Amino acid sequence: MKNILGREIPETIQGYGTVKPFQGAFASLGEVEKKSVKLKSTGPKEEKVLSSIQEVLEKCSLQDGMTVSFHHHLRNGDYVLNMVLDEIAKAGVRDIKVAASSIFPIHAPLVQHIQNGVVTGIYANYMSGPVAEAISRGELKNPAIMHTHGGRARAIESGDLSIDIAFIAAPTCDTYGNINGVEGKAACGTLGYAVPDAVYATKTVAITDNLVPYPACPIEITQEHIDYVVKVDSIGDPKGIVSGTTQITKDPVGLKIAKMTAKVIEVSGLLKDGFSFQTGAGGTSLAVAAYVKELMKKNNVKGSFAAGGITGYMVEMFEEGLFESLFDVQCFDLKAVESYRDNKRHQVMSASMYGNPHNKGAVVNNLDVMILGATEIDTAFNANVTTGSSGMIMGGSGGHSDTAAGSKLAIVVTQLVKGRLPIVVDRVTTVTTPGETIDVLVTERGIAVNPLRQDLIEKLKTTNLPIMTIEELKAMAEAMTGIPEKIELDDEVVAVVEYRDGTVIDVVRKIKD
Amino acid sequence: MKNILGREIPETIQGYGTVKPFQGAFASLGEVEKKSVKLKSTGPKEEKVLSSIQEVLEKCSLQDGMTVSFHHHLRNGDYVLNMVLDEIAKAGVRDIKVAASSIFPIHAPLVQHIQNGVVTGIYANYMSGPVAEAISRGELKNPAIMHTHGGRARAIESGDLSIDIAFIAAPTCDTYGNINGVEGKAACGTLGYAVPDAVYATKTVAITDNLVPYPACPIEITQEHIDYVVKVDSIGDPKGIVSGTTQITKDPVGLKIAKMTAKVIEVSGLLKDGFSFQTGAGGTSLAVAAYVKELMKKNNVKGSFAAGGITGYMVEMFEEGLFESLFDVQCFDLKAVESYRDNKRHQVMSASMYGNPHNKGAVVNNLDVMILGATEIDTAFNANVTTGSSGMIMGGSGGHSDTAAGSKLAIVVTQLVKGRLPIVVDRVTTVTTPGETIDVLVTERGIAVNPLRQDLIEKLKTTNLPIMTIEELKAMAEAMTGIPEKIELDDEVVAVVEYRDGTVIDVVRKIKD
């Protein structure tokens, strides 16, 4: 079977089930349903604090085949996923599905649980490091299921992803399960990705290293969703959780791309009062922000909001009055954590509020401009942020597809050639985000606009920016690198890439040894 | 049929259905389910602001027989319920069920809609004034259904009360449906009662007189739950919404009761570090708070939280450091609104978080001491706050039953005789709150402790407080007033009183002309 993007996808995938093929970015909007939630009520005399994760597993009646979930706010400093899975392994339970919003190199011990059958399924929006590599080599029994940030919230809320036990790493938690992320030694700021898990899981457990007296104000995830609380020595390594600062690139190529991107934004007509903006934490993305900041100041533009994972750089723009407010699903650095703690207009958003296509309107729907990366982009503007050119999983959508679909102007910024390989190709290794939702590709050598955006092409014609077709960009790249050899992959599907609405946009196949 | 409290209740009630009889305050705890929610997703290019309530009704496909809901944060200043029902009547729609969290004298125009068949059903946690009187006279087609505050949240979340369209009076709302209650000319503070409606209704509409640019930080009810926004001239009269100040009684009888109550609290042993407390906004209740405050200062007690509808008096205690935090489902006065706006430890709670028995633990479960009123209390400690001694509906549980069930020490404070009628009776006209959840009755003439609380009786024996049996209190009252004549009521059931778990604890019968 081929889906609407021409991707070859089996109709049924062993360990996944029947494939609903991707039908277009907005094909699934309309009548939807959020699932019912079964739970056990907590009465007046019951207590929630348990003495160990082992006791939690007993109280939650953990069984073979269950799905357990984790959030990734502690990023590469997270201790909780490994800690819980070790206890699950010790308990002799097998065939566990791990729904982690993202997986990082620190989660390497998960590979062993995969190899010995404790873990047979993985859901993630993003993964990098040893677990991603093991999955790419075909070591996981069932194909991994890769979501977008908004799509994961949708999957949880709809029941497509049914969580038996959610383990919530809690920087601060009180004895009745109220959680905040702004206090404690593992303070990470907002806990936006954990909200759907907390609300929809059958059992929800807070794991904290900062157990405080009731109530843990300011409360972010509330007691009525938490079954149990357990205290451990440490939930994470602060050095891996938040970086001290996020830095603008000093690379002249990156700066050139950023400057051109800012010009595209200016020409688009969106850079006016009420402007809204999101960008990642990478050096080039931040450089775009820096140029946008200059333009906003020059043109006296008062923006409405910046969104995303929030960096100190966006906090600075906010504090300088360039944006009225910040929407924050996760804090990328300490400055963001402090701002969120101290400023009421630095507003948390849950993963659903951020990007779920099946609620009554996500924040991404209100974005004017989104700055995106890509490891590959094809001539239909389909972007890959899931696999590297070798076919190895090394990322995933995260908010990529959500923000691309929601924003008025989604711009991919990238060097034209990386590691001697062209970034613009006929056919990306994996489609993460459909081309219909990407408006512009900016490289240091030229800018290509999606032909769907004739309005933008007309506007850009009036500038001296190097506007060309994406085919021209591809030819330019290939002239530098030669046409790369096609990589050979096994037939076996090792990961299913779900678009934000739960349809399958592509699959990842096993890399050859 | 008689339920466990011996109340005569039909097995089936016309216009209500089959009765699930009350089985005891904690009989329903255990496995429960929250309902699935059907909704229409909002895509990136859709706008939410509509031009009129009429247009809202069209877009929401309002039909005969539907249930529409309202919150009561604007109290006796609310314009929204009347405004919407007038439009519904104009649209020629009939047989509407109105689920208003509470109904006040300002909602008198609803009586006409009841009389002409536009409105045939009413759900409320509390009602006073002309609507309550019309219902008592049997004018509503179906029996009114009276919930507790937590029980209403439970009913909405479980699907027992299914809302087609929720109308949310919004003191401030942005163009995409984010709502806050702390800004705007009708600022009322927290919006805790509106949360279940917003999350579980099929359609949710924000009605605001302060439409602001996106986003309306600090956001209290978020955009992903709101379908439409409509701006009107005024949602309410600030004079009816919040009082300037709430006042401690100056009546010597009230002060005597309050002082004795504080002594009971002290003797109970609960008045120590971590103490938690809730009281109403009435003069005697506030006087109890004043005496408790003295005791806390004297004994150097640092409390954990005060909860409830929050008054300026509780804010003062909080600001003086007597409580670490406040849990606030609704702000009773301007001082509470300001405190909630400015202080992060003045924490909102939704109606479900406040008192829903069927979630993973409500705030009431953590209450040490609750001060309650009553219009009648019987010798089994069952309390009536629903009807007056004439049988006329003049209130309702509100949080009465929720806090009584959750708190460690629930104290009813009342004069022994009111309006020449004894308050302590053999049999209350209506049971609102079951006696098993009420620990103590304090009157100016004596204190009766529920025999279930032998521990407390032992402790109080060591004091010089006038401890006696409730039968002795009743005899004392009757000695003053004579034994009152039994009121005669019609057989017709005009209201069904649901306990917080949805079982029927009593019914209200039509008053005789």
A213 vs B363: CB contact, 8 Å cut-off?
Answer: no
Tell the burial category of A320 from Cβ atoms under 10 Å away from its Cβ (0-12, 13-18, 19+): exposed
Separation between Cα atoms, residue B160 and residue B33, nearest integer Å: 11
Strands B323-331 and A346-348: unpaired
B224 vs A34: CB contact, 8 Å cut-off?
Answer: no
Indicate the average pLDDT of chain B.
Answer: 96
Best interface-test mutation with A: which of B354, B360, B367, B500 has the largest number of A CBs within 10 A? B360
**How crowded is the C-beta side of B268, counted as CA atoms within 13 Å?**
24
Q: Which residues of B364-382 are buried (b: 16+ CB within 10 A; e: fewer)?
A: bbbbbbbbbbbbbbbbbbb
Q: How many CB pairs under 8 A join A and B?
A: 184
Calculate how close chain A gets to B425, using CA atoms only, in Å: 29
Separation between Cα atoms, residue A35 and residue A136, nearest integer Å: 32
In terms of CA atoms, which chain B residue is nearest residue A352?
Answer: B224
Selecting from 3.40.250.10, 2.60.120.10, 3.20.20.70, 3.40.1080.10, what CATH number does the domain B48-241 have? Answer: 3.40.1080.10
pLDDT digits (tens, 9 = 90+) for A167-215: 999 999 999 999 999 999 999 999 999 999 999 999 999 999 999 999 9
Identify which of A41, A215, A325 has the shortest CB distance to residue B215: A325
Three-state SS at B338: helix
Residues 6+ apart with CB under 8 A from A353: A192, A359, A362, A363, B222, B223, B224
Identify which of A36, A345, A366 has the shortest CB distance to residue B34: A36
B224 vs A357: CB contact, 8 Å cut-off?
Answer: no
Q: Which B positions 307-346 lie with beta carbon below 8 A of chain A?
A: 324-325, 327, 344-345
Helices (H), A42-119: 53-59, 80-90, 109-115
Give yes or no for B486 touching A (CB within 8 A). no
Calculate how close chain B gets to A507, using CA atoms only, in Å: 26
Q: Where along chain A do its domains lie? A: 60-121+129-142+159-241, 252-490
A32 vs B38: CB contact, 8 Å cut-off?
Answer: yes
pLDDT digits (tens, 9 = 90+) for A334-378: 999 999 999 999 999 999 999 999 999 999 999 999 999 999 999
In terms of CA atoms, which chain A residue is nearest residue B227?
Answer: A360
Identify which of B31, B42, B357 has the shortest CB distance to residue A360: B42
B215 vs A406: CB contact, 8 Å cut-off?
Answer: no
CB B457 within 8 A of CB B463: no
> What is the band of B139 on the pLDDT scale with cuts at 50, 70, 90?
very high
CB A398 within 8 A of CB A148: yes
- Chain A residues with CB under 8 Å of B303 CB are none
Residue B241 has pLDDT above 90, yes or no: no
**Nearest to residue B93, comparing CAs of B148, B165, B34, B193?**
B165
> What is the band of B244 on the pLDDT scale with cuts at 50, 70, 90?
low
In chain B the first and final C-alpha atoms are separated, in Å, by 26
Instruction: Give the residue carrying structure tokens 């120590």.
Output: B272
Three-state SS at A317: helix
**How crowded is the C-beta side of B62, counted as CA atoms within 13 Å?**
28
Q: Which residues of B50-73 are buried (b: 16+ CB within 10 A; e: fewer)?
A: beebeebbebbebeeebbbbbbbb
Residues above pLDDT 70, as percent of chain A: 99
Strands B31-34 and A467-468: unpaired
> What is the band of B375 on the pLDDT scale with cuts at 50, 70, 90?
very high
In terms of CA atoms, which chain B residue is nearest residue A38?
Answer: B33
* Mean pLDDT along residues A460-484: 96
Identify which of B31, B215, B356 has the shortest CB distance to residue A327: B215
B44 vs A217: CB contact, 8 Å cut-off?
Answer: no
What CA–CA distances, in Å, run from B15 to A273, B332, B493?
Answer: 55, 35, 10
Helix (H) or strand (E) holding B283: helix B283-298
Quote the tokens at residue A73: 């706010």
* Residue A208 DSSP code: E
Instruction: Give the residue carrying structure tokens 């990156």.
Output: A254
Q: Which A positions 4-63 lie with beta carbon below 8 A of chain B?
A: 26, 29-44, 46, 48
Asked if the domains A60-121+129-142+159-241 and A252-490 are classified in one and the same CATH topology, the answer is: yes
Give yes or no for B185 touching A (CB within 8 A). no
Strands B409-413 and A37-40: unpaired
Calculate how close chain B gets to A92, using CA atoms only, in Å: 27
Quote the tokens at residue A40: 């056990």
pLDDT at position B245: 60
Number of other CB atoms surrounding residue A328 within 10 Å: 26
Identify which of B37, B42, B177 has the shortest CB distance to residue A33: B37
Give yes or no for B227 touching A (CB within 8 A). yes
- Chain A residues with CB under 8 Å of B366 CB are 176, 214
**Nearest to residue A193, comparing CAs of A71, A103, A89?**
A71
A42 vs B204: CB contact, 8 Å cut-off?
Answer: no
Considering only A70-74, A225-229, A240-244, B250-254, which range has the smallest mean pLDDT? Answer: A240-244
pLDDT digits (tens, 9 = 90+) for A37-65: 999 999 999 999 999 999 999 999 999 99
ipTM over 0.90: yes
pLDDT at position A245: 60
CB B481 within 8 A of CB B465: no
pLDDT at position B124: 98
pLDDT at position A283: 86
Separation between Cα atoms, residue A134 and residue A108, nearest integer Å: 10
**The CATH homologous superfamily of the domain defined by A60-121+129-142+159-241:** Glutaconate Coenzyme A-transferase (3.40.1080.10)
Number of other CB atoms surrounding residue A85 within 10 Å: 24
Separation between Cα atoms, residue A352 and residue A363, nearest integer Å: 9
Calculate how close chain A gets to B327, using CA atoms only, in Å: 9
Identify which of B33, B222, B327 has the shortest CB distance to residue A215: B327
Helix (H) or strand (E) holding A293: helix A283-298
Beta pairing partners, B69: B99, B166
Three-state SS at B298: helix
pLDDT at position A513: 72
Quote the tokens at residue B364: 């009431």
Tell the burial category of B504 from Cβ atoms under 10 Å away from its Cβ (0-12, 13-18, 19+): buried
Amino acid at B331: C
Identify which of B33, B44, B357 has the shortest CB distance to residue A365: B44
CA–chain centroid gap for B183, Å, is 24
Give yes or no for A176 touching B (CB within 8 A). yes
Three-state SS at A350: coil
What dotted CATH number matches B252-489? 3.40.1080.10
Separation between Cα atoms, residue B277 and residue B269, nearest integer Å: 13
- Chain B residues with CB under 8 Å of A358 CB are 39, 41
Beta pairing partners, B305: B276, B325
Separation between Cα atoms, residue B14 and residue B507, nearest integer Å: 12
- Longest Cα–Cα distance in chain B: 73
Give yes or no for B358 touching A (CB within 8 A). yes
Quote the tokens at residue A215: 């109530």
Separation between Cα atoms, residue B105 and residue A431, nearest integer Å: 61
Identify which of B226, B358, B361 has the shortest CB distance to residue A360: B226
Instruction: Give the residue carrying structure tokens 């889906």.
Output: A3
State which fold the A252-490 domain adopts: Glutaconate Coenzyme A-transferase (3.40.1080)
Identify which of B48, B345, B363 has the shortest CB distance to residue A361: B48
Residue A244 has pLDDT above 70, yes or no: no
Identify which of B176, B227, B352 has the shortest CB distance to residue A224: B352
Instruction: Give the residue carrying structure tokens 């019609």.
Output: B490
- Chain A residues with CB under 8 Å of B183 CB are none
Number of other CB atoms surrounding residue B486 within 10 Å: 9
Number of other CB atoms surrounding residue A337 within 10 Å: 26
CB B346 within 8 A of CB B378: no
- Chain A residues with CB under 8 Å of B318 CB are none
B217 vs A344: CB contact, 8 Å cut-off?
Answer: yes
Most confident of A229-243, A275-289, B99-113: B99-113
What value, to the nearest 5°, has the Cα angle with vertex A350 and ends A234 and B235? 135
Calculate how close chain A gets to B67, using CA atoms only, in Å: 19
Give yes or no for A353 touching B (CB within 8 A). yes
Q: Which A positions 272-301 lie with beta carbon below 8 A of chain B?
A: 274
